[in-house]
Amino acid sequence: MSHLLKQQIEILDFHLRKPFLATEHGHPSEYKRMTMLTFLGSCREIGRSGFFIEEGKESVIVDYGVKFLNPPAFPPPVPLDTLQGVALTHAHLDHSGGIPMVLSDPDVSLFCTPATRDLTVLLLRDMDKISRGRLPFSRNEIPRVKRQCQPTAYEETVPLGHNFELTLFNAGHIPGSAMVSVRCNGKRILFTGDFNAIESRLNMGARKNLPKHDVVVTESTYARRMNPNREEIEIDLVDTVTETLERGGTVLIPAFAVGRSQEIMCILEASDIPRKYPIYVDGMARKVNDILVKHPEYIASPQAFSRAVKRSHRIHDNRDRQRAVKKGGIIISPAGMLKGGASHLYFKMLYDNPKNAIILVSFQIPGTPGAELLATNKVTVGNRDFEVDAEVKIHHLSSHSDSRGLLDLLKKIPGDPEFYVVHGESESCDALAEKLKKSGRRAHVPEVSESFEI
Ligand SMILES: [Zn+2]
């Protein structure tokens, strides 16, 4: 079956599942105003976020992301003929990876912050490069993100079609990240996207005192975890780095290019380390730095960040890498869980010297080289097994609220909203829904393609 035919059948299925639409078309006199919310992804999983809101003959999409399976998986297709606009919470590909597909009509606008727009284009291009033609859209479709973007500031409200209004609120997750509030038919629906209520050196923290909402679609990534105190983690991180450098070692920090690398730079900038030792930045984090320097309004302390960027040394090639390792200092390099990228090249140069340190700064998903290294001090990189003599430490700088942070923020939203819990492992979604119910709230854990009348 051709891809297009399959897509048309799926779209037809989509309509047939919902008898209210048949009624609307078949018997106009019975038409009653109704808002439908359909979950397209991130149901009992992290990845391929997507939400579809229909009101009368108009619709809006919030997020349309990817899940990195083999081949990459996307939310199911939805009818695009009624689409009034697309809103994007933030640049991470599990939210933005399929956005070019829903911008096929050049008159449909994308609403997100300018920082999200620029970071999304960078990440989509990178995904295209590594996917080698396995994506359902082409490289030429990526510029739609820039062309069709209507840059939207936090707290700004924009009308959309006849029925909708959108407002973005700071989500505190990565620079430019937003919660999307959609107003239609007199009701307000909040999509939290990924959020962090705690202020960090890079991010200002999610908007406190959110306005009244009737429905809240929330993430639940760390619904079953408590994050240690932020200041203590930062102090421990700086201590590990200082100890390593003082004993003549080199520090490797494998970190995600968007958000985490900049967070590390800001934490180090606040210490006296950068005045004594060089800091090197490798991989896509360099381009992310360039983008964020141009959008200072999304950084907690823009001057400190811009100083940190100016001070850091950019790595361009293998000669630079060898020189950096030899000279000593701190190397910030993708990928986050030692999953590849330049971090492998550094690892092979640093692993066998006990003076060196490898510092992991995010949760290490089981099965990744980072998780293996932490548990056993051994790791398989490429096809080789390494016994690691360098010091290995984890200082987890979370960019998501933990179980207490999630509940604190959600319970404070006025209007006794109905909660839909997504974007977490299945157990995390259930755990957050249960906690909300225990505090007297209505909460559901939706399945993919499930629709609810709002
Ligand atoms: Zn994210």
Domains and CATH numbers, the chain: 33-225+400-453 (3.60.15.10), 230-394 (3.40.50.10890)
Residue 200: which pLDDT band, with cuts at 50, 70 and 90? Answer: very high
180 alpha carbon – ligand 1 mean position (Å): 14
Residues around the ion ligand 1 (C-beta < 5 A): 92, 194
194 alpha carbon – ligand 1 mean position (Å): 5
205 alpha carbon – ligand 1 mean position (Å): 14
263 alpha carbon – ligand 1 mean position (Å): 14
215 alpha carbon – ligand 1 mean position (Å): 21
Residue 70: which pLDDT band, with cuts at 50, 70 and 90? Answer: confident
Q: What is the pLDDT of residue 26?
A: 40
92 alpha carbon – ligand 1 mean position (Å): 5
State pLDDT tens for residues 155-197: 999 999 999 999 999 999 999 999 999 999 999 999 999 999 9
- Where are the alpha helices (H) located in 132-271, listed in sequence order? 144-147, 230-246, 260-269
- Percent of the chain beyond pLDDT 70? 93
89 alpha carbon – ligand 1 mean position (Å): 9
324 alpha carbon – ligand 1 mean position (Å): 31
Residue 303 buriedness (CB in 10 A; 0-12 / 13-18 / 19+): exposed
Q: What is the pLDDT of residue 367?
A: 87
- Whether the pLDDT of residue 23 is over 80: the answer is no
90 alpha carbon – ligand 1 mean position (Å): 7
Residue 28: which pLDDT band, with cuts at 50, 70 and 90? Answer: very low
pTM for this predicted structure? 0.92
Q: How far is CA 234 from CA 53, 228, 271, 445, in A?
A: 41, 10, 10, 35
Q: For 34-62, what is the mean pLDDT? A: 96
Contacts made by residues 161-168, CB under 8 angstroms, sequence distance 24+: 161/58, 161/60, 161/84, 161/85, 162/56, 162/58, 163/55, 163/56, 163/58, 163/84, 164/53, 164/55, 164/58, 164/60, 164/84, 164/85, 166/60, 166/85, 166/87, 166/111, 168/87, 168/111, 168/112, 168/113
292 alpha carbon – ligand 1 mean position (Å): 16
- In residues, how long is the chain? 454
155 alpha carbon – ligand 1 mean position (Å): 20
